[in-house]
Structure 1
Amino acid sequence: MTDLILHHYPESPFSEKVRLILGHKKLPWQSVRIPRVMPKPDVQALTGGYRRTPVLQVGADIYCDTALICDVLEHVQPEPPLYPLHIKGVARIFAQWADSTLFWAAMTYNSQPKAAGQLFPSAEVGQAFMADRKAMRTNMTQLRLGDATSAYRSYLRRIAHMTDEHDFLFGAEPCLADFAAYHPLWFTRTRTPVLADILQPTPSLLEWMERMSAFGHSRFEELSAQDAVTVAERAEPLPPGQNLLVDSAFQNDHGIPLGTRVTVTAEAFGPESTEGVLMAATRTHYSLLREDPRAGPIHVHFPRIGFVLRKADAT
């Protein structure tokens, strides 16, 4: 198997989700540090527009969004499982809630002015970051700080009810739900410790966080962004059905045949589209073929849930 290359930056909560899963599965990987804000020319040479963090690269195949990245890592290393059979459905549903509702309540709380000095080395850096993220939220309604704080407190208590009963959220072993719930809380605890008192009323939750952090990040080596682009340029994208996504049957919910030039865009956060030729549209994902002057032919993969497929001439 070609090396797993994770494009990320240390402060990214969704990257921490994937880094811990790599640690849990003891998978070696290569680390490409990417900018926190635009421009991201090396990332977009691979994705064609998508700019959210992280991105997983395997040769000339690019996997976007952590929901899809988790499927890839499960295929690469099925044990220990992210989706145990007896809780496969509830683990996915809980993770979707944690990656959206919980995440945005937590990050609105984490981003309050009180924490600015811990988040950014200077006011200028902070202003640039907030302007960048505002541009990414063009299709979103953002919670007010007071409402987000109230919601976050309630969610922490509810998750703590689960950690009162088990070592992990659904039993003695972790599943996808644990990693999805952990990363926004990790941000509160490690990136904005001035705000971490919100975690103190739930000691079982803090104990669970210690168990999660103990998985670590496995073994990794640093790789430059240019070298990652070169890896893609020297590789060939794998045909649908032969890549690291397990399903390949065409599911035509849009009336758009394979071979059509299309765009894929996130429903909410991150308005940048990726354009290419539709190579696969299965029950779980879309795959686009695109050509890049630096990286050559690339297959870019997105999950169906959370993304919008359109004909390119309809955008």
Structure 2
Amino acid sequence: MSDLILHHYPTSPFAEKIRLILGYKQLAWKSVFIPMIMPKPDLTALTGGYRKTPVLQIGADIYCDTALICDVLEHLAPTPTIYPDAVKGAARIVAQWADSALFTAAMAYNFQPAGVAQVFAGAPAEGVQAFVADRTAMRGGSARMASADATGTYKSYLRRIANMLHGQDFLFGEQPGVADFAVYHPLWFTQERTPALAGIFDATPEIQAWMARMQAIGHGTAGKCSAEEALQVARNSTPATEPGDVFQDEHGIALGSPVLVAADNFGLEPTEGELIAATRTRYTLRRTDDRAGTVHVHFPRVGFTLKKVSA
């Protein structure tokens, strides 16, 4: 198997979700640090436009969005599973809620003035302004939840999470699963990056104990890799043969068509390529870049849109 290369930055909540899953599965991986904000020329040479963090690279196969990355890691290392059969559907639903509604409320809470002061301590004013502009663009110009609304929502969500943990170590039993990793990462940001605001956890000791258990999992074995080395790996690799899943056509777009794939609500930069697979769960595009060579870029269906490129 080719090396697992994770393109991320240390303070990314979604990257923490994947780093912990790599640790839980005791996988070795290589770390490529990417910028927090655009431009990200080395990353987009691989993805064709997608800019969110993290991205998983295996040779010349590029996997976008943590929901898909979770599935890929589960396939590579089925034990220990993050999808126990008895709760697989419920765990996926909770994970999707955590990655969207919980994350939105938590980050709006985290970025009130006391949190901003800690996140950007020592940063120049122009750096803060660039970050704000970047995240505003990622939201497509839509307003961020007001911090007062976010505080009430976050507290309500924390009570519900605490209820799930009553009498057990993890959200669905005695072992962590995909829901735990998804719920943990926005709370991790509160605890690690905005500790002045972490008193919100005081009312839910079950969550505090659970977070300590999650943190103890660690990140597995990580080695360093430069962006140029990762691009060279892609250039020197051949993308994996697509699985023989049945073509699921929901759009009337034939395989081989030039298409655009983009997230449907946050980080809307599209990736253009040739549609070579549309399975029950993912899209795969073939694209060629001067620096990365020929790569296959993979996206989950859920949370992404597929459009044919106009002639």
Q: Same fold (TM over 0.5)?
A: yes
- Output aligned runs, 1:70-85, within 5 Å: 70-85=70-85
Deviations 1:95-129 (A, max 9, x none): 00000000000001011122222111323222111
Q: Distance in 1 between matches of 2:194 and 2:248?
A: 43
Deviations 1:228-276 (A, max 9, x none): 00100000111211xxxxx722100000010000000100101210000
Report the equivalent of 1:255: 252
Report the equivalent of 1:153: 155
- Would you say how many aligned residue pairs link Structure 1 and Structure 2? 309
Of residues 288, 292, 312, the one that matches 2:289 is 292
Q: Distance in 1 between matches of 2:50 and 2:269?
A: 6
Per the alignment, do residues 89 and 9 of structure 1 end up closer, same or farther by CA in structure 2, a change over 3 Å counting? same
Report the equivalent of 1:22: 22
Per the alignment, do residues 32 and 97 of structure 1 end up closer, same or farther by CA in structure 2, a change over 3 Å counting? same
- Which 4+ runs in 1 deviate beyond 4 A? none
Aligned partner letter, 1:118: Q
Identity of aligned residues (%): 61
**Contact 1:106/1:152, CA 8 A, preserved across alignment:** yes
Aligned partner letter, 1:55: V
Q: Distance in 1 between matches of 2:118 and 2:221?
A: 28
Q: Distance in 1 between matches of 2:25 and 2:173?
A: 18
- Output aligned runs, 1:181-200, within 5 Å: 181-200=183-202
Secondary structure at the residue paired with 1:220?
strand
TM-score, L = length of structure 2: 0.97
**Contact 2:2/2:59, CA 8 A, preserved across alignment:** yes
Report the equivalent of 1:244: none
Instruction: Kindly state the Cα deviation for residue 139 of structure 1 after the two structures are TM-superposed.
Output: 6.4
Structure 1 gap segments, 5+ residues each: 242-246
What is the root-mean-square deviation of aligned Cα atoms in Å? 1.1
**Contact 2:136/2:142, CA 8 A, preserved across alignment:** no
**Contact 1:278/1:287, CA 8 A, preserved across alignment:** yes
Report the equivalent of 1:268: 265
Q: Distance in 2 between matches of 1:45 and 1:248?
A: 28
Q: Distance in 1 between matches of 2:105 and 2:203?
A: 18
**Contact 1:46/1:229, CA 8 A, preserved across alignment:** yes
Secondary structure at the residue paired with 1:80?
coil
Q: Distance in 2 between matches of 1:116 and 1:127?
A: 12
Q: Distance in 2 between matches of 1:80 and 1:141?
A: 40
Aligned partner letter, 1:162: M
Instruction: Kindly state the Cα deviation for residue 142 of structure 1 after the two structures are TM-superposed.
Output: 3.0
**Contact 1:22/1:218, CA 8 A, preserved across alignment:** yes
Instruction: Kindly state the Cα deviation for residue 309 of structure 1 after the two structures are TM-superposed.
Output: 0.0
Aligned partner letter, 1:54: P
TM-score, L = length of structure 1: 0.96
Per the alignment, do residues 7 and 148 of structure 1 end up closer, same or farther by CA in structure 2, a change over 3 Å counting? same
Aligned partner letter, 2:30: Q
